[in-house]
């Protein structure tokens, strides 16, 4: 199986890189040996952008996982594909990715403001939502928005650390999201921390991309708050420059 180095893990701000084409998937995806494009997972959509090579160019319409360790770049319909073995230049749609990063970090903060088990969630371009295991949805939307914005405005540093499967088993409270199981089997699990290590406000397993500090999220707006069943409530969040 093809193995792809996920460049976005080491540097979420990397927007361009060269790669070698390893092959193609049955669905027409382009398998590469290293990727600046994040593959859809954990509620975060796959990245989009462009590929250039000697003699061609195409738009990447989505990025998905292929097997356990591969990443496939999905071309726009009908686009000519680069030959296997060729070197391609990856160009990320940075504006879209950055909005996804901002929202992903924002949703981590929302799980701090609403300290209840998370039963689901989704991230989109400029907006996102979390579902919580709660019998009653918050009634004061303005207070909720103020609390979330106050955390954002503290400009808390966002960093990562790594633990073993055994360490996660010993600390099950780190897993907030009931519907997403942290990836196992590679020997270590990535944790995303918000705030300094000696005064952190959040620490949870996550393989997604995040901003370096919370102020980068900018102004937000709490959207709809609605019931989704007897024990579940859904809260929508929008970026100030996103989709309302």
How many angstroms separate the CA atoms of 208 and 70, rounded?
16
> pLDDT for 209-226, tens place per residue?
999 999 999 999 999 998
Q: Are 128 and 237 in contact (CB under 8 A)?
A: yes
List the domains of the chain with CATH numbers. 5-92 (2.40.30.130), 97-239 (3.30.980.10)
Q: What is the pLDDT of residue 169?
A: 66
Distance CA 21, CA 32 (A): 5
CA 172 to chain CA centroid, nearest Å: 21
Straight-line distance from the first to the last Cα atom of the chain, in angstroms, rounded to the nearest whole number:
41
Do the bridges between strand 34-35 and strand 5-6 make them parallel or antiparallel, or are there none, so unpaired? Answer: parallel
Contact 124, 45 (CB under 8 A): yes
Q: Coil, helix or strand for 64?
A: strand
42-68 residue pLDDT tens: 899 999 999 999 989 999 999 999 988
Sole residue written with tokens 């070197």: 87
Beta bridge partner(s), residue 98: none
Q: What phi, psi does 202 have (nearest 5°)?
A: -155, 140
Element (H, E) at 23: strand 16-24
108-161 pLDDT tens trace: 999 999 999 898 999 999 999 999 998 777 778 899 999 999 999 999 999 998
Q: Over 60: is that where the pLDDT of 241 sits?
A: yes
pTM (predicted TM-score): 0.90
């Amino acid at each position: 199986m093809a193995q792809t180095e996920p460049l976005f893990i080491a540097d979420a701000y990397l927007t361009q890189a060269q790669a070698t084409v390893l092959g193609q998937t049955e669905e027409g995806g382009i398998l590469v040996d290293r990727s600046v494009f994040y593959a859809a997972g954990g509620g975060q959509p796959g990245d989009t952008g462009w590929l250039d090579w000697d003699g061609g160019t195409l738009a990447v319409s989505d990025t998905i996982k292929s097997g356990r360790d591969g990443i496939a770049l999905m071309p726009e319909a009908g686009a000519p594909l680069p030959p296997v073995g060729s070197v391609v230049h990856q160009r990320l749609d940075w504006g879209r990715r950055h909005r996804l990063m901002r929202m992903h970090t924002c949703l981590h903060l929302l799980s701090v403001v609403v300290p209840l088990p998370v039963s689901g969630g989704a991230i989109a371009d400029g907006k996102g939502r979390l579902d919580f295991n709660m019998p009653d949805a918050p009634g004061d939307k303005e207070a909720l928005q103020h609390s979330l914005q106050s955390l954002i405005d503290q400009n808390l540093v966002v960093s990562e650390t790594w633990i073993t499967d055994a360490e996660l088993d010993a600390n099950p409270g780190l897993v907030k999201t009931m519907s997403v199981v942290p990836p196992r089997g590679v020997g270590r699990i990535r944790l995303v921390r918000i705030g300094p290590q000696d005064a952190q406000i959040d620490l949870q397993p996550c393989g997604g991309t995040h901003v370096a500090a919370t102020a980068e999220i900018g102004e937000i707006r709490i959207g709809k708050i609605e019931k989704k069943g007897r024990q579940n409530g859904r809260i929508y969040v929008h970026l100030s420059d996103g989709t309302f």
